[in-house]
């Protein structure tokens, strides 16, 4: 790694770590500022003041806020997100099994969205002056306008209720049944891919259209390259830079989409845990899940920045300048 790249990497790493610290402070303060007393919510409004005070003392809620924040951060550095107020179990023990569900949703949705967007975007760019390209472009705009939860509802009505091909809701762990696990993920993943894929088609199309207007593409055509070979050879890198940037910005939308899809298909993922914990005022779980989701978004954006440096080293030179 050259010195400009190393300096650019160090700069991005420092920004990432600083942002994580700032995010932890913001999340902690927001959760602490939420209305209501978790001890009263747990014991009920008829509980005596002594019982409420005793429960607050047991949970450490009577200690200074700064001390509780430091204790929470110290625990996170050791892999401990705290203890659930509602169940008395560790937050990590509740997050880990649900994290797998959300990870499957997002993990499948990203590559499948790319597999959908790349050929359609390339085709739409190449055929942009013909009705076939216009149809693909219009379809991508329609898909983009459909909210992910509405897409999930439509897919459920069509493929689960009407045709009965896939289950309408629920989840089966992979270790229990591979077939059941796969069938329960088809519709939720398809809902996200439909929306995200249509979003990415626009960027792929724009990237390849830029290539079609460049001199090096016309030169490639002049020396005998076919349209498709020239487009793939010279357009891939141009589109890769654009897609890496867009995917970094879209990771938060993917997570929000996964949370909404989990509600539609009743999947036991992080989104369901976050909603249930918020309704029951289990603030320690809300705090831990929110911090985990924010950390994932920031980490992905950091990795995207690093990948961007690898794809286009000119960025490091710009940082140096």
Q: What is the DSSP string of 49-101?
A: HHHHHHHHHHHTTTS-HHHHHHHHHHHHHTT---B-TTT-SBHHHHHHHHHHH
Give this prediction's pTM.
Answer: 0.73
Contacts of 157 (CB under 8 A, 6+ apart): none
pLDDT band at 321 (very low <50, low <70, confident <90, very high): very low
Higher pLDDT, 136 or 311: 136
* 77-98 pLDDT per residue, tens: 888 887 787 777 788 888 888 8
pLDDT band at 43 (very low <50, low <70, confident <90, very high): low
Range scoring the smallest mean pLDDT among 114-118, 134-138, 307-311? 307-311
| 8 Å CB contact between 285 and 270 | no
Residue 319, pLDDT score: 46
pLDDT band at 37 (very low <50, low <70, confident <90, very high): low
Residue 281, pLDDT score: 76
Share of the chain above pLDDT 70, in %: 76
| 8 Å CB contact between 160 and 106 | no
* 48-60 pLDDT per residue, tens: 777 767 777 777 7
First to last CA, the chain: 18
pLDDT band at 191 (very low <50, low <70, confident <90, very high): confident
Q: Mean pLDDT over all residues of the chain?
A: 77
Higher pLDDT, 181 or 142: 181
**Domains present along the chain, CATH in parentheses:** 1-86+306-321 (no CATH), 91-279 (1.10.3720.10)
- Which residue is listed with tokens 């009505």? 157
Is the pLDDT confidence value at 290 over 50? yes
């Amino acid at each position: 790694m050259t010195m400009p790249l190393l300096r650019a990497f160090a700069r991005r790493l420092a920004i990432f770590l600083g942002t994580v610290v700032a995010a932890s402070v913001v999340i902690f303060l927001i959760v602490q500022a939420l209305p209501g007393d978790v001890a009263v919510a747990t014991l009920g409004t008829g509980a005596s003041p002594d019982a409420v005070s005793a429960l607050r003392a047991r949970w450490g809620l009577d200690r200074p806020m700064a001390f509780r924040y430091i204790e929470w951060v110290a625990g996170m550095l050791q892999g401990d997100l705290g203890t659930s107020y509602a169940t008395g179990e560790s937050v990590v023990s509740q997050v880990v099994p649900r994290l797998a569900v959300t990870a499957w949703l997002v993990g499948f949705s990203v590559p499948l969205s790319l597999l959908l967007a790349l050929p359609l975007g390339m085709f739409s760019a190449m055929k942009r002056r013909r009705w076939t390209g216009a149809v693909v472009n219009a379809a991508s705009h329609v898909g983009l306008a459909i909210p992910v939860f509405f897409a999930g509802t439509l897919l459920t009505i069509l493929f689960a209720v009407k045709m009965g091909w896939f289950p309408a809701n629920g989840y089966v762990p992979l270790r229990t049944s591979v077939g059941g696990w796969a069938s329960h993920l088809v519709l939720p993943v398809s809902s996200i891919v439909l929306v995200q894929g249509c979003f990415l088609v626009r960027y792929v199309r724009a990237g390849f259209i830029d290539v079609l207007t460049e001199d090096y593409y016309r030169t490639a055509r002049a020396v005998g390259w076919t349209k498709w070979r020239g487009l793939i050879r010279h357009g891939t890198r141009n589109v890769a830079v654009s897609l890496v940037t867009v995917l970094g910005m879209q990771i938060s939308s993917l997570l929000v989409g996964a949370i909404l899809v989990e509600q539609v298909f009743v999947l036991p993922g992080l989104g369901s845990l976050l909603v249930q914990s918020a309704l029951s005022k289990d603030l320690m779980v809300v705090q831990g899940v929110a911090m985990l989701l924010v950390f994932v978004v920031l980490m992905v954006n950091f990795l995207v920045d690093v990948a961007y440096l690898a794809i286009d080293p000119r960025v490091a030179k710009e940082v140096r300048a």
